[in-house]
Structure 1
Amino acid sequence: MKPGSVNENFSKASAAKHAQRWWLIGWPRRLLLLRFVAFGLSRNMSSTCLKLVEVEESRRFMIDCFKAVNVPEEHAKAQADLLVAADHRGHFSHGMNRLEMYINDLAINSTDGAITPVVLKETPATAWVDGRNGLGAVVGNFCMDLAIKKAKNVGVGWVCAKGSNHYGMAGWYALRAMESGLVGMSMTNTSPLMAPTGAKEAALGTNPLSLGANACGKDHFLLDMATTAVAVGKIEIQNRKGASLPDGWAQDPEGKVTNDAKLAFETGCLCPLGGTELTSGYKGYGLGAMVDILTGVMSGANYSTHVRKWTHTGANTAANLGQVFIAVDPNCFAPQFQERMTDFNSILRNTKPTDPKKPVLLAGDKEEKNMKDVDQTGGIEYLENQLKTCAALAERLKIQPLRFK
């Protein structure tokens, strides 16, 4: 807008007119309006206000919660380690945000927190495991450790599990393989939340997959992604904040894309990765189906709409999720894998960015930065609404409340 232009003069005149109207309404009405605005701001801030919680305190609280519903300490620690790691890495949809749902399932015995998995069938390179309705982290750690053992012996380990539960952040299991110098992959099916392209009801889960590979030093590549546009937990986080959704995340009951986080969360119908058919959402739909075939169909677990719905109040039936854990020894193939990975990572990171202030990132870079930020600030930042849920849990389970700074 140029100084002295018609638009500028109009804006000045308009501003003066509005100021005059504001002044003429009188002090009583002005005070009432100010209070109304302040109330609206305070409500918005209450849902987005952040509190700092030390990592070990977050872990302590989760362990106490699990132990309060009769989970053995070893299993409680395994599940808590997974959830804390998700928050530490910035995957808030899969950390403390999921705690209440785990507790509710355990409290009504739709998940067995004490059980350990068993191997039903195996070869030197493969295994079929029954999770026996145990905690997702317990089943997942067992299966990936078995895959790692097989990969070290014959070069590859492929383990399928049935009878599992929500196993948290998929990348956790890839990281487990990476710690042993292997390439790791993991996938799981979930409760139906994705609408197939052209449908207005969910028939597939978010069905995440992960792949992790080490480069030289501490550098690595770690992909962890849902095959929906987003994980349902991100819809829940937006709902907690009272914020709207970007286009292409979720559908309303009529199958139309919605920006209403509350409606989307209640409807439980996410768009596939890619969004609508116009933006190639059918590719995400195809990926989600692929994961369900490799996890649910192949393992003998539930799949598609046979998987129960998972809610905050718990479910009265077992989830019987299917999962896959793969470990590969790169030394069985071309030499200098880590050096080649370092070069590969460098090429991608050094591609010319569209915004010079925002360098190109690799899968896992954001998580590494988030971990450093958490370590520097001295804790994980949780939404106030999340902390209210934790306070209610502490009161209900008769445990020490979560302490925050």
Structure 2
Amino acid sequence: MFITFSEEKLRTFTYDVFKKMGCSNEHATLATDVLVRSDLRGIDSHGVARLSGYYRLWEKNRINATPNIRIIHETPTTATVDGDAGLGLVVAPFAMKVAIEKAEKYGSGWVSVKNSNHFGIAGYHALMAVEKDMIGISMTNASPLVAPTYANERLLGTNPMCYAFPAGKYPAVVVDMATAAAANGKLEIAQRANAEIPDGWVQDKDGNGSTNPNELKAGGSLLPLGSDKDHGSHKGYGLGATVDILSAVLSGANYGPWVPPFVAFLEPDPNPVGEGIGHFLGAMRVDGFRPAQDFKNHLDNWIGRFKNAKTVDENKQVIIPGEPEYQFELTRKTSGIPLINAVVEDLNNLAKKIDVEPLLIP
């Protein structure tokens, strides 16, 4: 069911695909790093499994492989970036670098982005700030697949948000999550594995709960974080709305039901309210509040106390946000990255189509 590949093999393959799209060496390398880092961190739904999707969008002229990414509005601590329809995998790191540069000068930096595309995992961009002893924040709106509380209409995306905090002896604390009950990529994994999904992730076209991972294709919708009105879905709805407003209403990107779909077989709304997909990124210098080492020492203490919390099951331990992904990265760096057969087949078909060396040679 799984085939394991080395990190180097996946990097080479992914880079070759982005080069076939016409990306520069710099952009192909960066986009590759975002996708492979996702697989390394165990977030398989946003790794190389998405590569064919990016290529299909490029074929439909919805991704610009050679964008002129630029700042179009700016103050000392804020900026708005126009991604020129480029890969979000490239646009978002550009914007985070701007946020970090502003933070280095003024203590914090905040950047909104319009006219972009899917940016991969939010954690990648937030962790860029952690490397500079800063707190990183990243979020993006996404294709409308989520029905707000009480609704039976797709109006929001899975709209992930991430907060990343630098620690000392421990790995960074990384709170990286969709504001929906589940990311669409998890449904795609279940579809490929021909498996059911947990109750509370989706509703069918009539608003009834379902465990069918194909429900979205039949007109259903994802549910907000919290699943339904009896389990706090209004909180997930509120978080998703916050991401949409900061990422798009603030930047001039499309928001709500006007966000362009990630899949190439669906066309964007012919009457958009903005440009492309939107992101919001921020960086805050820890030493703008207290000495960085003091903060990291106390965060280590925080982590240690939570890891030693009394649990309901003596065989379980409280999980620190970002810890599982960190452990995945350590393991997969040495043992390789597993891809399910359906993903390997999809990528090999893409390789044959565009004449690059496949992952597996029959």
TM-score, normalised via structure 1 length: 0.85
- Offset at residue 262 of structure 1 (A): 1.9
CA distance in 2, matches of 1:238, 1:69: 29
What are the Cα deviations for residues 71-97 of structure 1, in whole angstroms up to 9, with x where unaligned?
222111111110000011000110112
CA contact (8 A) 2:9 2:359 kept: yes
Q: Deviations 1:164-192 (Å, cap 9, x if unpaired)?
A: 11001000011111111111000100010
Label 1:98 to 1:262 Cα distance change in 2 as closer, same or farther (>3 A).
same
Q: Deviations over 1:238-278 (max 9, x none)?
A: 11100001011011111111101122454351110010101
The AA in structure 2 aligned to 1:323 is: H
Alignment partner, residue 37 of structure 2: 85
Pair 1:397-2:345 in alignment: no
> Could you tell me which amino acid in structure 1 is paired with residue 283 of structure 2?
A
1-side partners of 2:315 and 2:337: how far apart?
26
Partner of 1:243: 195
**Structure 2 counterpart of 1:18:** none
Preserved CA contact (<8 Å) 2:159 2:179: yes
What secondary structure is seen at the aligned counterpart in 2 of 1:396?
A: helix
- The 8 Å contact of residues 261 and 268 in structure 2, kept in 1 or not, is answered as no
CA distance in 2, matches of 1:399, 1:237: 25
Q: How many residues align?
A: 356
Larger Rg: 1
Match of 2:185 in 1: 233
| 1:353 positional shift | 1.9
Cα drift, residue 310 of structure 1? 2.3
2:330 alignment counterpart: 372
Q: Is the 8 A contact 1:272 1:281 kept in 2?
A: yes
Cα distance in 2 for residues equivalent to 1:151 and 1:316: 35
Partners of 2:220 and 2:255 lie apart in 1 by 17
Contact 1:115 1:134 in 2 (8 A): yes
Of 45, 66, 70, the residue aligned with 1:114 is 66
4+ runs of 1 displaced by more than 6 Å? Answer: 316-319
| Structure 2: distance between partners of 1:267 and 1:383 | 27
Aligned to 1:352: 310
Task: State how far apart, in whole Å, the 2-side matches of 1:268 and 1:163 are.
Answer: 27
Equivalents in 1 of 2:150, 2:180: separation in Å? 14
**For residues 204 and 20 of structure 2, what CA distance do their matches in structure 1 show?**
38
1:204-240 superposed Cα distances (whole Å, 9 cap, x missing partner): 0111000101111352201110000011000110111
Q: Which runs of no fewer than 5 residues in structure 1 stay unpaired? A: 1-48
Distance 1:394 1:263 in 2: 30
Give the counterpart letter for 1:354 in structure 2.
V
Alignment of 1:110-189 (within 5 A): 110-189=62-141
Deviation at 1:108, TM superposition (A): 2.2
Matches within 5 A, 1:5-404: 49-267=1-219, 269-313=221-265, 315=267, 320-335=276-291, 336-377=294-335, 379-403=336-360
Conserved in 2, the CA contact under 8 Å of 1:51 and 1:383? yes
Q: Which moved more, 1:218-227 or 1:257-266?
A: 257-266
Deviation digits for residues 324-350 of structure 1 (CA, Å, limit 9, x no counterpart)? 110000111134111111111112111
Shift of 1:375: 2.6
Q: Secondary structure at the match of 1:201?
A: coil
1:372, distance to aligned residue in structure 2 (A): 2.0
Contact 1:235 1:264 in 2 (8 A): no
Question: Is the CA contact (8 Å cut-off) linking 2:18 and 2:28 kept in structure 1?
Answer: yes
Secondary structure of the equivalent of 1:160? Answer: strand
DSSP-derived class of the 2:317 partner: coil
Q: Which moved more, 1:349-358 or 1:206-215?
A: 349-358
Asked if 2 retains the 8 angstrom alpha-carbon contact of 1:202 and 1:269, the reply is yes
| TM-score normalised by structure 2 residue count | 0.95
Contact 1:104/1:314 (CA < 8 Å) preserved in 2?
no
8 Å CA contact retained: 1:101, 1:314: no
Give SS of 1:261's match. coil
The DSSP-based 3-state class of the residue aligned with 1:359 is: coil
Question: What SS is found at the alignment partner of 2:22?
Answer: coil
RMSD: 1.7
* CA apart distance, 1:315: 4.4
Unaligned residue ranges in structure 2 (runs of 5+): none
The structure with the largest helix share of the pair is 1
- Give the 3-state SS of the residue equivalent to 1:222 in structure 2: strand
CA distance in 2, matches of 1:51, 1:254: 38
Distance 2:357 2:351 in 1: 6
One-letter amino acid matched to 1:337: F
Residues 12-62 of structure 1, C-alpha deviations (whole Å, 9 max, x = no match): xxxxxxxxxxxxxxxxxxxxxxxxxxxxxxxxxxxxx00011111111111
Whether contact under 8 Å (1:239, 1:265) holds in the other structure is no
Of 366-375 and 175-184, more deviation after overlay is shown by: 366-375
Specify the code of the residue in structure 2 equivalent to 1:374.
R
Kept after mapping to 1: 8 A contact 2:39/2:46: yes
Identity %: 38
In structure 2, how many angstroms separate the alpha carbons of the residues matched to 1:331 and 1:375?
32
Displacement of 1:309 in angstroms is 2.2
- Kept in 2, the 8 Å contact 1:236–1:265? The answer is no
Query: Residue 6 of structure 1 aligns with which residue?
Result: none
